[in-house]
Amino acid sequence: VQLVESGGGLVQPGGSLRPSCAASRRIPNIDAMGWYRQAPGKQREMVARTFSGGYTNYADSVKGRFTISRDNAKNTVYLQMNSLKPEDTAVYYCSVTTMKYDYWGQGTQVTVSS
């Protein structure tokens, strides 16, 4: 299974982006799908996750600005990012967690700069 992210890019502060992550095939028994990010010189951190029961959680730094959603028919998870700030600049990775495996994408760069 491959996870392919797209939709990153360069945006001005206050702008929006909506990266997406598509799986190459249906993944059974998903526990959670999520987005993580890693800025230069920092550890990877959780940004948002959505669980099989419908529960979602977000990092405090993005609450109220980012929204995670999924389209099971398309095997795709999205991250709507609004009111972007320079500190949101990072490589964003998607992840799919099952009982047996954790799948990771290659990452998409998001740069917030004027």
AA identity, residue 61: S
What does the pLDDT read at residue 34? 96
pLDDT tens by residue, 56-102: 999 999 999 999 999 988 889 999 999 999 999 999 999 999 989 99
pLDDT tens by residue, 10-52: 999 999 999 999 999 998 888 999 999 999 999 999 999 999 8
Pairing type for strands 90-98 and 108-112 reads antiparallel
What does the pLDDT read at residue 76? 93
- DSSP secondary-structure letter at 41? T
What is the spatial distance between Cα 74 and Cα 20, in angstroms, rounded to a whole number? 11
- pLDDT > 90? residue 54: no
What is the spatial distance between Cα 25 and Cα 12, in angstroms, rounded to a whole number? 34
Find all residues with CB under 8 Å of 33, minimum gap 6, and list them.
21, 49, 50, 68, 70, 77, 94, 95, 96, 97
The residue assigned the tokens 């004027």 is: 114
Grade residue 53 by pLDDT with cuts at 50, 70 and 90: confident
